[in-house]
Amino acid sequence: MDRRTFLQLLAASPIASGSIVDSLPKYKTVSSYAPAPNPGMPGPYPGQVVSVRSARCIDETSEKVDVDVVREMMERGMCSLTGESKATDAWRRFFDPSDVVGIKVNCSGVPGVVSSPEIIAEIVRNLMIIGLKPSQIYLYERFKSQLDRVNYPAYLPEGVQVVAAESERGQIRLYDPAVYVEVDFFGEEDTRSNMIRLLSQKLTKIINVPNMKDHGASGVTGCLKNIAYGSFSNVARSHQRAKSHTYSFIGTLAAVEPLRSRTVLQIMDGLRGVWHGGPFSPTRRFRFYPKHLMFGTDPVAIDRLLIDIIDEKRKAEGAISVWNRSLTYVKPGQVRERDHDPNINIFIRETGHIEYASRLGLGVYDIKKINVKEIKI
């Protein structure tokens, strides 16, 4: 493939009007990969979300997951999304035996809230049923220390690959030097965020499995944040003091090829959730149990629903909204205070990052245009 450089200067984009956009950083996206004719995001089901709930999927006291219930939730969700009557046929809509499939797990909330191993195991089981070998399936995350704590291999068939991009924080050898977004947020020296090499050079399809979590910088963290910040290096630089550039950086990263084209399925894991202090969940203090999975191909539509889930929970707990940008509640660097008080934040939340991503063509944000199929088990 010939090397091509896509300059994604906002001045040339259709959203380059208005004061917010005028103050956005200048992004330069470098990638040799052209978009697929039908990119995985928003995929074949823009604006469609299947919401599956079951009160029996997890025991809130022991946090034990009921594998059989999860299996049923997965089956019903996938069938409803695709219109197929058999789960196998639903999975075949997205994957074939020649694919090399990556599963983007989220482990930043370790040990409390991560992509549930039971859900990952069910995804792997279905991929194998349709003909993929374990060696064609990769779980990936950025940090080895987090992945190791979850211990996914204990739940998976032998041969499934579990890959961390950074054996030690900051190592970039497993990132692709030819696929990156360059941007200078705060005068930092290292201005590049590179895509994980596994994604650009090996995987043919990606399944995104985020959690339902609050996020101190981006407002909430769901499909977009997980696939974007979880697939590139050097992203924490987007926050400094009270300011976060997650508003535009998340969507920009998610739109980089080949990530955008290859991410074909979104399965949001809401067995557990985090309503404050996210993406972390070191204690149960801010954990809750939505008992809820969402299926789709449109990350924006799912994340739009997530905003309301987190915001309603916060409201019920007497906490400020994820839309609250008042500096009264922002105390930069005061992590300990944030971890004790749900009305303290360390950054101004950029919940608007989801709408911004919709403007980059990643999905449907308007709640009136999102079609939700509700299933209760």
Partner 1 sequence: MKILFFLATLPMLYWQQGIDSTEALRRAGIERMYVPPDQVDAWKKAGFSPVPLSLSELESRVKLPAPRISTEVQVASPTRSPWVVANGWRFLRNSSGKYYYDLPKGTAALAAAEAFAYGADAILKIDPADLEELGRMLAFLQQLGPSPAETLADLAVVDDGSPLTSEVMNLLARRNLLFRAVSKPDPQFRINIKLGTKQYPRAEAANPSNFALKIRRQITDEKRLLRVYGSEVVICRLTGDGSRVRLHLLNYGRGKIEGLRVRLRGAFAKGELKAAGYGNLSLEDYVVSDEATEFSIPEMRAYAVVDLQLK
Per-residue binding letters, 230-259, with partner 1 (x by CB under 8 A): ---xx-----x-------------------
Least distance from C-beta 249 to partner 1, angstroms? 17
Which residues of the chain form beta strands (DSSP E)? 28-30, 48-53, 101-104, 137-143, 161-166, 175-182, 192-196, 205-208, 211-215, 219-221, 239-240, 243-244, 263-274, 287-288, 292-296, 371-376
* Sequence-distant (≥ 6) Cβ neighbours of residue 252 within 8 angstroms: 8, 27, 29, 181, 183, 228, 360
One-letter amino acid at 43 equals G
Q: How many residues bind partner 1 (CB under 8 A)?
A: 21
Does residue 196 contact residue 231 with C-beta atoms inside 8 Å?
Answer: yes
Least distance from C-beta 173 to partner 1, angstroms? 3
Residue 25 or 361 with smaller CB distance to partner 1: 25
- Collapse the DSSP code of 26 into the 3-class scheme (helix H, G, I; strand E, B; otherwise coil) and give the result: coil
Least distance from C-beta 233 to partner 1, angstroms? 8
Least distance from C-beta 169 to partner 1, angstroms? 9
Tell whether residue 191 is a contact of partner 1 (CB under 8 A). yes
Least distance from C-beta 197 to partner 1, angstroms? 9
Tell whether residue 161 is a contact of partner 1 (CB under 8 A). no
- Give, as ranges, the residues between 193 and 212 that touch partner 1 (CB under 8 A): 194
Q: Of residues 178, 372, 375, 377, which one binds partner 1 by CB under 8 A? A: 178
Q: Of residues 170, 318, 368, 376, which one binds partner 1 by CB under 8 A? A: 170
- Of 263, 261, 253, 136, nearest in space to 195 by CA: 253
Tell whether residue 356 is a contact of partner 1 (CB under 8 A). no
Least distance from C-beta 345 to partner 1, angstroms? 18
Two structure tokens written together for 90:
């639903």
Residue 140 or 288 with smaller CB distance to partner 1: 140
Residue 136 or 233 with smaller CB distance to partner 1: 233
Q: Of residues 22, 190, 308, 366, which one binds partner 1 by CB under 8 A? A: 190
Residue 151 or 167 with smaller CB distance to partner 1: 167
Residue 32 or 88 with smaller CB distance to partner 1: 32
Stretch that binds partner 1, among 65-73, 86-94, 186-194, 360-368 (CB under 8 A): 186-194
Q: Of residues 63, 66, 89, 184, which one binds partner 1 by CB under 8 A? A: 184
Instruction: Note the residue count of the chain.
Output: 377
Report DSSP state, residue 14: T
DSSP state string for 113-162: BSS-HHHHHHHHHHHHHTT--GGGEEEEEEEHHHHHHH-GGGGS-TT-EE
Tell whether residue 2 is a contact of partner 1 (CB under 8 A). no
How far from the centroid of its chain's Cα atoms is residue 248's Cα?
15
Tell whether residue 174 is a contact of partner 1 (CB under 8 A). yes
Residue 13 or 240 with smaller CB distance to partner 1: 240
Q: How far apart are CA 225 and CA 232, in angstroms?
A: 11
Least distance from C-beta 207 to partner 1, angstroms? 26
Q: How far apart are CA 365 and CA 49, in angstroms?
A: 12
Instruction: Sort residue 277 into left (φ over 0), alpha (ψ -120 to 50) or beta.
Output: left
Stretch that binds partner 1, among 136-144, 183-191, 207-215, 299-307 (CB under 8 A): 183-191
Q: Of residues 189, 318, 368, 376, which one binds partner 1 by CB under 8 A? A: 189
* Sequence-distant (≥ 6) Cβ neighbours of residue 2 within 8 angstroms: 32
Instruction: Sort residue 250 into left (φ over 0), alpha (ψ -120 to 50) or beta.
Output: alpha
Tell whether residue 37 is a contact of partner 1 (CB under 8 A). no
Two structure tokens written together for 38:
């039908």
Report DSSP state, residue 107: -
Tell whether residue 187 is a contact of partner 1 (CB under 8 A). yes
Q: What is the CA radius of gyration of the chain?
A: 19
Residue 188 or 308 with smaller CB distance to partner 1: 188
Residue 158 or 189 with smaller CB distance to partner 1: 189
Using CB under 8 A, list all residues that contact partner 1: 167-168, 170-175, 177-178, 184, 187-192, 194, 233-234, 240
